[in-house]
Amino acid sequence: MRALTPEILDFLAPDDPRAQRSRRDLARINWVMRQSAIMAGALAKLPAPDLLADLGGGDGRFLLSVAERLAGRWSGVRVVILDRQTIVSETTRAGFAALGWRCEVLQGDIFETLPRLEPDIVTANLFLHHFD
């Protein structure tokens, strides 16, 4: 059985101070663990996708930091950030656009939203712990 276990962050309003603090903590964890460098290094070995889907991508800043590392190798990538909330800022969307990438956000449960896509690559960061 596939079961996705939601967390408190999934239910807080994007502007709730607890949600903002939690997203800052996640960014720190990613920085300390060098996650964007690791993810970009793994993805750089692959040909540029037409469509990359990021599961539980939240505010999209992590994937943008990966995209910044890959922009010299990949161009014209369409990224779809799948999450329970639509919280990708205009600044983050503009960051993707500046790289020549197209950013879309798809809100909902991944078991409902991912099957609507046919991504070449699927990424997940600080997300898989939600599963039983």
* Helix axes of 90-98 and 61-70: crossing angle, nearest 10 degrees: 10
Using alpha carbons only, how large is the chain's radius of gyration in Å? 14
Residue type present at position 23: R
Q: How far apart are CA 85 and CA 51, in angstroms?
A: 20
Q: What is the pTM of this model?
A: 0.77
- Taking only the tens of pLDDT, the chain with its 132 residues reads 555 566 666 666 777 777 777 777 777 776 776 888 999 999 999 999 999 999 988 889 999 999 999 999 999 999 999 988 888 999 999 999 999 999 999 998 888 888 889 999 999 886 655 555
Q: What are phi and psi of 84, to 5 degrees?
A: -70, -25
